[in-house]
């Protein structure tokens, strides 16, 4: 039997951020979340498995988020990719959106924004109530 839940791949090397994202996705138990710590592992998994959404840290060891997205887009990967970064300058956001990312979230990750983007990109009907607690 195959798992029909949408799968989200999160490429994040910081354990605290990975834990936060895991807690946020507990609000969407119908979504399968998989977290890896580097882009190399993420790129390998994308060759083996279908994901409905990718969350990609920008500052990763080895291959950074921009290099990973460039590789994915050159290979024809169409999965929506959300950049996650502590860099919040408009120029950083604009650069990411012009270079293969579909959305950009700044750290610390806003629960409501992440879930809204997730619902949008996965075509989910769930809506996050305005009073959703911050994790």
Q: What CATH number does the domain containing 26 carry? A: 3.40.50.2300
pLDDT (0 to 100) of residue 105 = 97
Q: Is residue 44 part of a domain?
A: yes
HSE, CB side, 13 Å, CA atoms: give it for residue 88: 7
* Tokens found for residue 131: 């009073």
DSSP class per residue in 35-67: EESSHHHHHHHHHHS--SEEEEESS-SSS-HHH
* Tokens found for residue 73: 């887009």
| Residue range(s) defining the domain that contains residue 69 | 7-122
| DSSP bridge pairs for 34 | 9
pTM score, two decimals?
Answer: 0.89
Site of tokens 């290979």 = 75
pLDDT (0 to 100) of residue 7 = 96
Mean pLDDT in the chain?
Answer: 90
pLDDT (0 to 100) of residue 131 = 43
Q: What domain count does the chain have?
A: 1
When pLDDT is cut at 50, 70 and 90, the band that residue 3 belongs to is: low
DSSP H/E element including 119:
helix 111-122
**What is the edge-to-edge ordering of all strands in the sheet holding 103-106?**
32-36, 7-11, 53-57, 81-85, 103-106
Q: Is residue 39 part of a domain?
A: yes
pLDDT per residue over 30-88, tens digit each? 999 999 999 999 999 999 999 999 999 999 999 999 999 999 999 999 999 999 999 99
């Amino acid at each position: 039997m195959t798992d029909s839940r949408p799968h989200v791949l999160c490429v994040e090397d910081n354990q605290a951020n990975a834990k936060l994202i895991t807690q946020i996705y507990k609000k969407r138990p119908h979504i399968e979340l998989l977290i890896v710590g580097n882009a190399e592992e993420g790129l390998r998994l994308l060759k083996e498995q279908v994901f409905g959404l990718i969350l990609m840290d920008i500052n990763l060891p080895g291959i950074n988020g921009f290099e990973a997205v460039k590789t994915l887009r050159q290979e024809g990967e169409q999965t929506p990719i959300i950049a996650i970064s502590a860099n919040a300058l408009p120029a950083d956001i604009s650069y990411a959106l012009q270079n293969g990312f579909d959305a950009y979230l700044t750290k610390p990750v806003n629960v409501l924004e992440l879930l809204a983007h997730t619902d949008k990109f996965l075509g989910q009907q769930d809506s996050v109530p305005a009073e959703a607690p911050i994790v």
